[in-house]
Structure formats: C-alpha cells, structure tokens
A and B are shown apart, each in its own frame.
Chain A
Amino acid sequence: MAIELRVPTILRTYTGGEKAVNGAGSTLAEFIDDVNGNHPGLKERIVEGRPEELRRFVNVYVNDEDVRFTGGLKTEVKDGDVVVVLPAVAGG
C-alpha cells in the first residue's frame, strides 16, 4: 500500500506525464517531501515560504477534505489515502 497523489495537468511535467504517483509519510509535509524525492520541483509548486505553508492558490485535499480545515501540512496521512492537488481557478 502507499499514499496516492493525483497530479493536476499543469504539474504533470514533473511526473513524466503521470496523472498519479505514489509516496509515503505520516503527515502531508512528509508525503510531499517523499514524492518530491522522485519528482524534484513538484514540492515548490505546492509549498512556499519559511516556515513552509501551502501556496495560497493551490488546493490540497486528503480523502476529499480540504487540508486547510484539517491542519494544513500537518494533516495526518496513511497508506491508502488519496491526496488531490488542484490549482485554484481564480483571477481578477
């Protein structure tokens, strides 16, 4: 078992075109670090700043829940979970 990351179109350049890649970790932050090990550059499109935070215009969901409501990067994850990344649809 693993944790699955569903990759949005715009970030598939980092995954060789794959729509989904697997990783491991006990928190969302660890999971993103782990996935970034195999797909360098992916992390900085999702996370920014120090301390690290989710980018304002990127939404991340763990099992259908927006992680902004479940602890952000500290959200706990486990084998079998599905992490979905969706760029915000927004503008001025």
Chain B
Amino acid sequence: MRWPPYRGGVLIIDTATYEAIVDHARRDHPDEACGVVAGPEGSDRPARFIPMLNAAMSPTFYEFDSGDLFRLYKEMDSRDEEPVVIYHSHTATEAYPSRTDINLAQEPGAHYVLVSTRDGADSPSYDGPVEFRSYRIIDGEVTEEEVQVVPAYPAE
C-alpha cells in the first residue's frame, strides 16, 4: 500500500509511539517533557521515538541541551531521517502552543505535538482522556490538525 499524502492536515501516529509520548509527559511531570519522533525524510511517518532531556528542567519551559541537539541532528542526518514530530508537555495549561512555543518554533516541516498533564492527568490512576493535540507552526501561524492513532503503520 502506498503511504497516503496527508501532510498538512493530519498526524497519523501508531499507538506505541502515542503512548510513549504520554508516558514520558507523565513521568517528567511537574517539569515539561520534550522529545522528537524521527522518520524517513519525506515520509511524514513518525517512526523512531527519541525522548530528550529538558535541559531547562522547568514546569514552564523546555529546551534541548545544545550538545544533545547536535548529536540528534547528526544521527538523523546519517540515517536520512527528519524530525517528523516535536513534542512537549504543558503541566498546568491546555495542550495548545504558548506564545513562546509559537515564537521559537523553527521546524516548518514538523508536527508540533502538545500533551497536557494538568488536573491530575500525570497520575497513573487518572483514567480520563489525556489531551494530545498536534499543530503546524509556520511563520508564527498555528494550524491545528487531526490526530489519528493507528495500531501500526501500513507496509510501504
């Protein structure tokens, strides 16, 4: 099956990666969690989950460490990958890009995923839905997109 062209309107993500992102956000609460899901260049398929350290170790800010960032991009480059998803959590507010998120977004090809762990969503006993939303952020403009969670990606 051919991978369908959905760039711009939908994030299609497999269950395991979706859960890995939510688990990371819960684990790092009350600090913000952050990371990348890399995928083959041009595929728009988030395939390789890469949790990153939040060098800011803050409940209101996240930043990849500069050395980690360098190694991450070098590795993706050598594997012909790109950052398909860039995710981070909000720990006390909704899963919507903050002014800072919008100003600092510098990957026009990425899906920016936000997860919120507010209102007890970080707790293992929390059984409500965890806010998990995806956006394009290009030149300061935010466009939300649908998130489709699939059991597995179709074979290429």
Contact residue among B66, B83, B88 (Cβ-Cβ distance under 8 Å from A59): B66
Taking a contact as CB atoms under 8 Å apart, the answer to whether B107 and A66 are in contact is no
Contact residue among A59, A64, A84, A87 (Cβ-Cβ distance under 8 Å from B107): A87
Of all chain B residues, the one with the shortest Cβ separation from A89 is B64
Of all chain A residues, the one with the shortest Cβ separation from B86 is A89
Of all chain A residues, the one with the shortest Cβ separation from B106 is A87
Taking a contact as CB atoms under 8 Å apart, the answer to whether B107 and A91 are in contact is no
A8 CB within 8 Å of chain B: yes
A74 CB within 8 Å of chain B: no
For A, the interface residue count at a CB cutoff of 8 angstroms equals: 17
B37 to chain A, nearest CB (A): 13
A26 CB within 8 Å of chain B: no
Contact residue among B60, B70, B86 (Cβ-Cβ distance under 8 Å from A86): B70
Complexed CA–CA distance, A68 and B67 (Å): 11
B40 to chain A, nearest CB (A): 15
Contact residue among B67, B73, B97, B109 (Cβ-Cβ distance under 8 Å from A91): B97
A64 to chain B, nearest CB (A): 7
B124 CB within 8 Å of chain A: no
Give per-residue flags for A14-50: 1 if the beta carbon is below 8 A from chain B beta carbons, else 0: 0000000000000000000000000000000000000
Give per-residue flags for A69-91: 1 if the beta carbon is below 8 A from chain B beta carbons, else 0: 00000000000000010111111
* Complex A-B: 17 CB contacts under 8 Å: A8-B106, A9-B107, A10-B108, A59-B66, A59-B69, A61-B70, A66-B66, A84-B73, A88-B104, A89-B52, A89-B86, A90-B61, A90-B62, A90-B64, A91-B63, A91-B105, A92-B99
